[in-house]
Amino acid sequence: MTSTEEYKTLAANACARRDASMADIEKYFPLPEGFESKHLAPLPDPLPLNVTGIAKEYLNPFDYEITSADPIKLLADIASKKYTAVQVAAAYLRCAVLAQRTVNCVTEFLPDMALALATKCDKYLEETGKTLGPMHGLPVSLKDMICLKGYPQGFSTCALTTFITDYDSLIVTNLRDAGAVFYQRTTQPQSLMHLECESVVFGRTVNPYNRNLTSGGSSGGEGAALGFGSSCIGLGTDIGGSIRNPAAMNGVFGIKLTANRLPVGDTFFINGGSEAIAGAVGPMGRTIEICELLTKVVCDAEPWKISRELAAAPWNSDILKDKKKLTIGVNYTDGVVTPQPPVQRALKEAVEKLKAVSSIDGIEIEVVDYAPFKQELGWEVITSLYFEDGAEVELETFAKVGEPVLPLTEWIIKKANPNVKHLTIPELWERNKSKYKYRYDYNQHFLKSGVDVILAPAYFGSAQPWSTAESLNSTWWGYTSIFNVTDMPACTFGVTTVDPEKDKPIEGYTPLNETDKSIYERYKPEIYKDAPVALQIAAPRSEDELAFYATKLISKFLKA
């Protein structure tokens, strides 16, 4: 075989490994006698565009009761022995099979690990009458780049599919110690630098609300699993929007905390050792409460005592106890790309609702405008530092086995910022200085605004059709990446879905620039039918608890 074809074998092997792990589910979790489940039954052909109803239809009602339960309630039901942890793991694994068959969001199922962890929970509860910890028996899904000892760490690239890591990421240990049950690893795109989710290894992960659309990215597998219902909580990572975008595109919650809050340093980055832009690891979940619980569990494990890069910041909900007022700064547009009509409507409706009340849960609410701050410069700063080596390590890794470079990979490396190149050290220093200056100036802008939190679009639109060489659809990360360059905690959450009746194209709009023009012209409401639409709340750096608090308050109020 020529080296240019080697990638195909590697990808096929990885998919075969995934398929074998799927087949193993039946071995580790055989169906109890008389328990019928259609999770392996033939599915409609063609599949409907919207597959969010599949789980209810194809799962046994007992399994569906479990997988559709509120995760905090599910924890209580496991603790009270209504369900065993093994039953819960089985239900989620069978649901995950359906998700894989419809949206292709899994890189590997972990039935053996899930059975061992769930059995341990059940045994412990049986023997001691106590739960193992606050995550006792809860299925937790892991983005593929989170390391599991003895498992491949493929970084979604063919050449690495056979690379096995020899340690667990610290956050895995923290969650496992608290009783979490890992049961699946989820897809991510080539290079991990797309707001979509396509890799040469595993193909495309599609959006469960509309299979013609991407699931978002880079934690797109987790996003799709949450949207489908085969996950209630999982881990993603975010260096430009990779937690928040797929959460938003699937109508769930995703929070990027301050980068050094949760242990991200030992998750797998192909450019390990790079310090210019810090990625974050964090929760993506069905509810804000389960995201908060996961965060609290990790903080309570004091990971900074092991990973000395982290902030020594215990979880502190007390800092909000005297909060009497919340000033919300609404950012309608970032001034580079005007949000598409569904996002405009979602934000407008939210603001109207918020402005109509004086308080929520006894907290005085003030809604003011929040102006964007040099978003184009923010984008230039962050993209000038994503690939300090000009992405040589990525490109060489792809080339080694002939893996084609996908259009969005090509775009972020070569087109998003024409100045990306292998930097010299003084060039790196200069770019770092620009980063500090931007952060400082942004922060001054924020402080002057007087707002506590920012309410903004999660993205310029809902989920987009896939990017191809002819049409790059996911090229403006500004709504999320702004909070990476400024390292502010930010949470996205679904508020509505695209309604072609309400969300008509805006006539006579004059685009601000080429990107804005292409995004404006691309908008045809029917393309986006059923796609979730999300907003975002951001708080100052290190005020992660405030980000959770404000998101809880506002998202619940908007839903009510």
User: Which segments are annotated as binding site for substrate?
Assistant: 192, 218, 239-242
Of the candidates 336, 301, 338, 62, the one whose C-alpha atom is nearest the C-alpha of residue 170 is 301
In whole angstroms, give the CA distance from residue 467 to residue 407: 7
Least distance in angstroms from the C-beta of 235 to a second copy: 20
Residues 206-240, buried b or exposed e (16+ Cβ, 10 A)? bbbbbbebbbbbbbbbbbbbbbbbbbbbbbbbbbb
Between 476 and 483, CB nearer to a second copy: 483
Q: What is the DSSP secondary-structure string of 98-165?
A: HHHHHH--EEEE-HHHHHHHHHHHHHHHHHHSS-SSTTTT-EEEEETTS--TTSB--TT-GGGTT-B-
Between 87 and 153, CB nearer to a second copy: 153
What are the start-end ranges of the E strands in 305-380? Answer: 325-330, 359-360, 363-369
CB 455 within 8 A of CB 350: yes
Between 304 and 557, CB nearer to a second copy: 304
Least distance in angstroms from the C-beta of 274 to a second copy: 6
In whole angstroms, give the CA distance from residue 385 to residue 416: 12
Helix (H, G, I), strand (E, B) or coil at 99: helix
Between 222 and 388, CB nearer to a second copy: 388
Helix (H, G, I), strand (E, B) or coil at 209: coil
Residues designated as active site: 143, 218, 242
Least distance in angstroms from the C-beta of 202 to a second copy: 27
Least distance in angstroms from the C-beta of 431 to a second copy: 7
Between 35 and 429, CB nearer to a second copy: 429
Least distance in angstroms from the C-beta of 421 to a second copy: 10
CB 351 within 8 A of CB 457: no
Least distance in angstroms from the C-beta of 217 to a second copy: 24
Quick count: other Cβ atoms within 10 Å of Cβ 483?
Answer: 28
Helix axes 375-386, 478-485, angle to 10 degrees: 70
Between 313 and 512, CB nearer to a second copy: 313
Instruction: Give the interface with a second copy as residue ranges (CB under 8 A).
Output: 265, 271-276, 304-309, 311-313, 388-389, 392-393, 422-426, 428-433, 436, 439-440, 443, 447, 486-487, 540-543
In whole angstroms, give the CA distance from residue 481 to residue 378: 8
CB 69 within 8 A of CB 17: no
Binding-site positions: 192, 218, 239-242
